[in-house]
């Protein structure tokens, strides 16, 4: 091999290496995109059945249930138009309470319940996740428009 | 009254940045020594006034002046004094003032410690830094003044966010800001070099210590932030790929690339344009980070409630900084072309690959951080990118980088002839792989191939870093601080890799309910809740659990995790109980009462997690040692040499 051929081989190998790496990275990117849906989207069947996604809304007053001594909690998440029942097992975040805006990450169970792997609430009593605020605003506009 | 004084001082501080910028830049062009002297005076004045302004705000916190809106919003008379003082930078407005103070301190430092640099160069650098200070001062004055009065004054303050009531607040933000804004110094040097049209090895020698020190602060800031989040958020994660963490990590990665690229520019006069580009990018990413945090476009514990006007200002500022610097680059870069080459296998090549991979990692993180924002801005839907993407995307470029680090360290400039080192490296490689497999099997049990790769890489880099100075001594070379610093930093990386590989592979966690008298087991440790009690703190009430940890009947530790309710903001806070051994942490965090006398708890076993931060701090130590290499303090011009000789004879 001449020096030139060797250099071309080196360049070729590098291109293949970078290409493979980029393919892996983009594949990981595709697979880890988490879409956000509102309870209305979920009830309308817009959310995927087999994929992890995020759903955000307010925890409906009086909907939180957990048998004494158990870690299995259920509650209703609402955007004031539609509701989604959420099941979660584990430690809830400090600021989780009824009437609070939260975001849950998880999957839909066959019965239509949302099984959360993670529940997020923000460390600020006035906080509403932007996603939730957005959904509520849209809902509000829709109602105002309907009247 | 003191607050008005602070406000006034800030206005004057802003006013002084203008002559600093003008006389700094013009003085260099027209070579007027007294203009340059004037620039230095403006720098001192700006620093003093900013410090006065900052001290006034701090004083308002100290005396509980709740007629100041910012104080009323972020402090409370019950807040312990030390946190009252640190609350000065606990929210947006004050933290920006701290930012400006950090900038003023860097500028003053450049003005004082630049005796080995020609006045004309220093003058340009100070001029550029003046423009940056002007931008930030104007930002505070127009959109985020902490000096606004509240009328009528509040009876008491709304208290500092309980999350921030922690020693972490005292030290993490200042470190982080000093690091962020420190990147403005290489940026200013780059702009100065482009304005002058001259960039040589000497220039690189001026910039290297500044870049190192800024990088050291940034490293410490990020590490402290990680550590703080780990114990204060209470849930035992050390890195979340949160948008704001990414924002601080990207300038760090580019800064790391810059440090390595500067080495080539200094030693061989190569990579000049590339070094300039990295200098510009590192600072631009710092400003981008500020934009992400301050504009409220990201959801994060760091995101301050904020208004779009601020975001727009910073975005404009970023556009001006990066835009004008890149424009200048496009115009001037052709001047810095070099014709010297290097062989495919040489230290230059290794450093080039290092740079490409670091920048590649930065781009992948940038993609994951900005893509959701773009989609949202274009109304194409709301998405987020899950942490697993970042784990994989970061690992792809970092694995080859860490593999190549060891031979790179031993490669010679121009053309590497490994010669005898080749045998040594092969031995090290074999030892590392065997040690990696052995550690995985003997100490922890088989987990995965990635774990073994991680362990082996840690040994590979760690051993090479230790061997490098030894082989240099054997060859009869003396060890400069630069070489020692490099070895220490690379050894730190090895410690970090070992910590990450172990923690990520072998950590255990469990959520469960426990009532006094009950015991749970995790990783061979028995956790017994012995009692629950109520505790009263200075400004909070807490429920405290006592958890006795035993192993094979022997007591290991007694932990006291708490669930606190802060009296003013009513927010519950989780204070984890941590037993920190050198090789493992045991964490207990309290969830909530479950109604029948039991509490939900999270138990965690984190092997080697401490090595992550120890490794990062060791890297910082290496950077610091290298910054104090004697060659950076050498005077470079003939005149200066004469002056130095004169001083000696006197």
Contact B500, B533 (CB under 8 A): no
Contact B516, B531 (CB under 8 A): yes
Whole-number Å distance between alpha carbons of B192 and B212 = 19
Across B78-95, average pLDDT = 93
- A68 with B595: Cβ contact below 8 A: yes
Please determine, looking at this structure, whether the domain spanning A36-146 carries the CATH number 2.40.50.140.
yes
- A29 with B368: Cβ contact below 8 A: yes
* Mean of pLDDT over chain A: 83
- A95 with B299: Cβ contact below 8 A: no
Phi, psi of B90 (to 5 degrees): -80, -10
DSSP, res B436: H
User: Residue with structure tokens 């309308």?
Assistant: A44
Alpha-carbon separation of residue B637 from A124, B112, B116, B201 (angstroms): 58, 18, 8, 14
User: Residue with structure tokens 């809740």?
Assistant: B529
Whole-number Å distance between alpha carbons of B135 and B138 = 5
> Averaging pLDDT over each range in A8-17, B229-238, B544-553, which range is the top one?
B544-553
Instruction: Pick the closest to residue B530 from B455, B588, B465 (CA basis).
Output: B588
Higher pLDDT, B384 or B638: B384
Choose from B237, B299, B395, B573 for mutation: most chain A CBs within 10 A: B299
User: In this predicted structure, what is the pLDDT of residue B277?
Assistant: 96
Higher pLDDT, A93 or B307: A93
For residue A77, the tally of other CB atoms under 10 A from its CB is 27
Label residue B438 by pLDDT band (50, 70, 90).
very high
Whole-number Å distance between alpha carbons of B472 and B476 = 7
Across B83-89, average pLDDT = 95
B557-588 tens-digit pLDDT: 999 999 999 888 887 888 999 999 999 999 99
Contacts of B385 in chain A (CB under 8 A): 29, 32-34
Q: What is the DSSP string of B186-202?
A: HHHHHHHHHHHT---HH
Contacts of A14 in chain B (CB under 8 A): none
| B390 alpha carbon, distance to own chain's centre | 18
Nearest CA in chain B to A25: B393
Label residue A100 by pLDDT band (50, 70, 90).
confident
Half-sphere exposure of B458 (CA within 13 A, CB side): 24
Whole-number Å distance between alpha carbons of B183 and B247 = 14
Residue numbering of the annotated binding site of A for heme: 123, 127
User: In this predicted structure, what is the pLDDT of residue B302?
Assistant: 56
Q: Please name the member of B299, B384, B513 whose beta carbon is closest to the beta carbon of A71.
A: B513
Q: What is the DSSP string of B54-115?
A: HHHHHHHHHTT-TTBHHHHHH--TTS-HHHHHHGGGSSHHHHHHHHHHHHHHHHHHHHHS-T
Whole-number Å distance between alpha carbons of B236 and B238 = 6
User: In this predicted structure, what is the pLDDT of residue B646?
Assistant: 36
Q: Where in chain B is the domain with CATH 1.20.120?
A: 1-160
B386-424 tens-digit pLDDT: 889 999 999 999 999 999 999 999 888 988 877 778 888
B220-241 tens-digit pLDDT: 999 999 999 898 876 778 998 9
Contacts of B591 in chain A (CB under 8 A): 91-92
Residue numbering of the annotated binding site of A: 123, 127
Q: Which two tokens stand for residue B395?
A: 């690992």
The matching CATH number, chosen from 1.20.950, 3.10.450, 1.20.120, 3.90.1690, for B1-160 is 1.20.120
| A29-38, B124-133, B378-387, B598-607: least confidently modelled range | B378-387
Label residue B383 by pLDDT band (50, 70, 90).
confident
User: B102 in the Ramachandran plot: left (φ > 0), alpha (ψ -120 to 50) or beta?
Assistant: alpha
Across A11-30, average pLDDT = 89
Label residue B648 by pLDDT band (50, 70, 90).
very low
DSSP, res B88: G
Whole-number Å distance between alpha carbons of A143 and B41 = 63
Whether pLDDT at B294 is above 90? no
A83-89 and A114-120 strand pairing? parallel
Whole-number Å distance between alpha carbons of B588 and B577 = 5
Nearest CA in chain B to A103: B299
Whole-number Å distance between alpha carbons of B589 and B535 = 16
Q: Which two tokens stand for residue B493?
A: 């990386």
B248-286 tens-digit pLDDT: 999 999 999 999 999 999 999 999 999 999 999 999 999
- By 3-state DSSP, what share of chain A in percent is helix, strand and coil, each rounded to 5? 35, 30, 35
∠ Cα B449 B497 B219 (to 5°): 150
Whole-number Å distance between alpha carbons of B396 and B361 = 8
B457-468 tens-digit pLDDT: 999 999 999 999
Across B601-630, average pLDDT = 96
Contacts of B563 in chain A (CB under 8 A): 94
Label residue B1 by pLDDT band (50, 70, 90).
low
SS3 B173: helix
Which sequence spans correspond to the domains of chain A?
A: 1-33, 36-146
A56-85 tens-digit pLDDT: 888 999 999 998 888 899 999 998 889 999
User: Residue with structure tokens 């001449």?
Assistant: A2
SS3 A31: helix
């Amino acid at each position: 091999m001449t020096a030139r051929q060797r250099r071309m081989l080196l360049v070729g190998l590098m291109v293949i290496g970078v290409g493979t790496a980029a393919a892996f990275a983009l594949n990981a990117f595709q697979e880890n995109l988490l879409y956000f849906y509102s309870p209305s989207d979920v009830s309308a069947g817009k959310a995927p059945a087999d994929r992890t996604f995020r759903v955000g809304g307010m925890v409906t007053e009086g909907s939180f249930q957990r048998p004494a001594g158990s870690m299995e909690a259920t509650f209703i998440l609402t955007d004031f138009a539609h509701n989604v029942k959420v099941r979660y097992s584990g430690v809830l975040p400090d600021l989780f309470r009824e009437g609070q805006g939260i975001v849950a990450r998880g999957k839909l169970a066959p019965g239509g319940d949302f099984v959360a792997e993670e529940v997020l609430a923000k460390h600020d009593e006035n906080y509403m996740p932007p996603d939730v605020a957005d959904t509520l605003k849209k809902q509000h506009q829709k109602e105002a428009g309907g009247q | 009254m003191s607050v008005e004084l602070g406000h006034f001082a800030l206005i004057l501080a802003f006013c002084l940045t203008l002559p600093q910028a003008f006389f700094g830049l013009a003085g260099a062009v027209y070579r007027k020594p007294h203009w340059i002297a004037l620039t230095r005076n403006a720098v001192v004045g700006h620093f003093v006034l900013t410090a006065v302004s900052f001290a006034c705000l701090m004083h308002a916190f100290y005396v509980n002046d709740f007629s100041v809106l910012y104080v009323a919003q972020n402090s409370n008379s019950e807040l312990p004094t030390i946190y009252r003082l640190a609350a000065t930078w606990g929210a947006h407005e004050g933290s920006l003032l701290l930012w400006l103070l950090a900038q003023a301190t860097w500028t003053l430092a450049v003005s004082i410690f630049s005796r080995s640099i020609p006045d004309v160069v220093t003058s340009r650098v100070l001029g550029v830094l003046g423009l940056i200070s002007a931008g930030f001062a104007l930002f505070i004055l127009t959109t985020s003044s902490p000096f606004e009065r509240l009328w009528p004054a509040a009876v008491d303050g709304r208290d500092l966010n309980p999350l921030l009531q922690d020693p972490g607040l005292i030290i993490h933000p200042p470190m982080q800001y000093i690091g962020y804004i420190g990147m403005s110094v290489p940026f200013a040097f780059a702009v100065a070099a482009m304005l002058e049209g001259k960039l040589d090895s000497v220039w690189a020698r001026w910039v290297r210590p500044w870049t190192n020190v800024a990088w050291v602060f940034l490293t410490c800031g990020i590490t402290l932030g990680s550590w703080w989040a780990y114990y204060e958020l209470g849930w035992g994660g050390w890195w979340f790929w949160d948008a704001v963490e990414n924002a601080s990590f990207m300038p760090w990665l580019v800064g790391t690339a810059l440090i390595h690229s500067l080495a080539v520019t200094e030693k061989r006069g190569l990579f000049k344009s590339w070094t300039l580009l990295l200098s510009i990018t590192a600072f631009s990413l710092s400003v981008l980070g500020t934009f992400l945090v301050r504009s409220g476009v990201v959801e994060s514990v760091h995101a301050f409630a904020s208004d779009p006007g601020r975001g727009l200002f910073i975005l404009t500022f970023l556009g001006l900084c990066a835009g004008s610097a890149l424009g200048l680059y496009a115009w001037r870069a052709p001047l810095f072309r070099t014709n010297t080459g290097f062989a495919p296998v040489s230290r230059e090549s290794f450093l080039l690959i290092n740079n490409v991979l670091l920048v590649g990692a930065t781009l992948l993180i940038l993609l994951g951080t900005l893509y959701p924002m773009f989609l949202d801005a274009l109304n194409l839907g709301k998405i987020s990118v899950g942490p697993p993407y970042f784990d994989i995307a970061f690992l792809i470029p970092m694995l080859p980088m860490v593999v190549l680090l060891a031979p790179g360290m031993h490669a010679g400039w121009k053309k590497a002839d490994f010669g005898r080192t080749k045998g040594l490296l092969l031995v090290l490689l074999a030892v590392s792989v065997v040690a990696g497999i052995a550690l995985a099997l003997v100490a922890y049990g088989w987990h995965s191939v990635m774990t073994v790769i991680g362990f082996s890489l840690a040994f590979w880099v760690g051993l090479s870093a230790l061997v490098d100075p030894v082989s240099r001594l054997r060859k009869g070379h003396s060890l400069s601080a630069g070489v020692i610093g490099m070895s220490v930093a690379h050894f730190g990386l090895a410690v970090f890799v070992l910590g990450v590989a172990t923690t990520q592979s072998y950590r255990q966690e469990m959520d469960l309910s426990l009532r006094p008298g009950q015991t749970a087991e995790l990783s061979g440790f028995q956790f017994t809740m012995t009692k629950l009690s109520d505790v009263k703190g200075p400004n909070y009430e807490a429920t405290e659990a006592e958890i006795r940890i035993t192993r094979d009947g022997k007591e290991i530790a007694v932990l006291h995790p708490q669930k606190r309710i802060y009296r003013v903001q009513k927010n519950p806070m989780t204070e984890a109980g941590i037993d920190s051994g050198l090789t493992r942490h045991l964490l207990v965090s309290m969830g909530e009462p479950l109604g029948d006398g039991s509490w939900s708890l999270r138990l965690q076993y984190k092997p080697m997690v401490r090595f992550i931060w120890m490794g990062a701090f060791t890297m910082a130590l290496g950077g610091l040692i290298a910054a104090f290499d004697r060659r950076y303090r050498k005077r470079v011009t003939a005149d200066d040499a004469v002056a130095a000789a004169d001083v000696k004879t006197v």
